[in-house]
Amino acid sequence: MRSITAITSSVAKTYVCVCILLTAAGCNWMSPATRVSTDPSTESDSVRIELFAENKGLRDRVQSQELDIAKLRAENRRQVELNQLLTDELENIKNDLDRVENQFVSLEKRLRLKETKASAVASVAEAQLLFEKMLESGADVLDSLTVSEVTAKLKTSDEMIKKRNYAAAVYFSNRTMRILNQTERRMNVVMTDGDSRIIAVSLANVRSGPGSGYEIIEKLNYGTVIVQIDTNANWSKIRTKDGTAGWVHKSLIR
């Protein structure tokens, strides 16, 4: 009878040979304790994380594109309104010329009968008050040419009153009012020279100065159309459709 040592050695050799053959055949002969885990739940979590990140990226891109579209639409509306404004101004000028040709050039006596001194003085005063109000407000569209034109027409109106040509005084004051009203309308459409922007957060604070320590003068909602009229390092000076001007942090607009 062979010894136990010989038997053990034979078994060990046989085991080694079997392992070598199994490895060569590509079999997973390792014990369960030494195998690498392939738990499907771990792979599923990884897929979900990747899908979530991908969906978030898509949502961010869609939101960015929506802001760009809103900005383009706002600029398009602004240009349409401005074009309509210019068309109306040209029509008013044409009508003024027609009135000058067909009505204003007539006998001085006939002109005097159309208006009284009181109505002429009141008409000129109304135009003068509106002009002074717009000058005090610092309206950006009240340029030097407009100021010169309005000043000249008001002066002519005063001269016509002194000459007792009240109808002529009313005519020039009415022309002045039309110029100022068109200027106000242009201010509401254009607001001021600058670039159209969109509020890109749910709520943005408009401050009285370029810094977080300045007073909040208004809050603007997401998608509000504004115009950027000035900038510094981190802040933009903006104006809203209703004429409110203030400073907004650059990160809040697009």
- Partners of residue 203 on adjacent β-strands: 221
Q: Of the candidates 190, 205, 224, which is a domain's last residue?
A: 190
pTM: 0.40
pLDDT at 247: 92
The CATH number of the domain holding residue 232 is 2.30.30.40
Burial of residue 111 (CB within 10 Å: 0-12, 13-18, 19+) is buried
Q: Give the residue, 155 or 18, on which the prediction is more confident.
A: 155
Q: Is residue 73 part of a domain?
A: no
Among candidate residues 143, 170, 190, the one where a domain is terminated:
190
Q: What is the pLDDT of residue 249?
A: 93
pLDDT of residue 125: 92
Are 183 and 207 part of one and the same domain? Answer: no
Q: Which of 190, 224, 244 is the last residue of a domain?
A: 190
**What pLDDT is attached to residue 33?**
46
| 121 and 161 belong to one structural domain | yes
Question: Does 31 fall in a domain?
Answer: no
Q: Strands across the sheet with 203-207, in order?
A: 195-198, 225-231, 235-239, 245-249, 203-207, 216-221
Query: In terms of domains, do 181 and 205 share one?
Result: no
The C-alpha atoms of residue 25 and residue 236 are separated, in whole angstroms, by 72
Q: In which domain, by residue range, is 237 found?
A: 195-252
Q: Which residue has the higher pLDDT, 55 or 220?
A: 220
Examine the domain organization and report whether 206 and 184 are in the same domain.
no
Q: What value, to the nearest 5°, has the Cα angle with vertex 243 and ends 80 and 90?
A: 40
Same domain as 213, residue 168: no
pLDDT for res 132? 86
d(CA 105, CA 97): 11
Tell which wins on pLDDT, 222 or 32.
222
94 with 166, same domain: the answer is: yes
Q: How many domains does the chain have?
A: 2
Residue 1 has pLDDT above 50, yes or no: no
Q: Is residue 87 part of a domain?
A: yes
Asked if the model's pLDDT at residue 8 lies above 70, the reply is no
* pLDDT tens digits, 149-169: 889 999 988 998 898 888 888
Dump pLDDT digits (tens) for 170-195. 888 888 888 888 777 766 655 545 57
Q: What is the pLDDT of residues 234-251, one digit of tens each?
A: 998 888 876 778 899 999
Q: What is the pLDDT of residues 190-235, one digit of tens each?
A: 554 557 788 888 899 999 889 989 999 989 988 888 888 788 889 9
Residue 5: inside a domain: no
Query: Does the pLDDT value for residue 103 go beyond 70?
Result: no
Among candidate residues 210, 214, 213, the one with its CA nearest the CA of residue 252: 210
Q: Give percent above pLDDT 90 in the chain.
A: 10
User: Do 224 and 252 meet the contact criterion of CB atoms below 8 Å apart?
Assistant: no
**What average pLDDT is seen over the chain?**
75
Query: Is pLDDT above 60 for 38?
Result: no
* pLDDT exceeds cutoff 60 at 90: yes
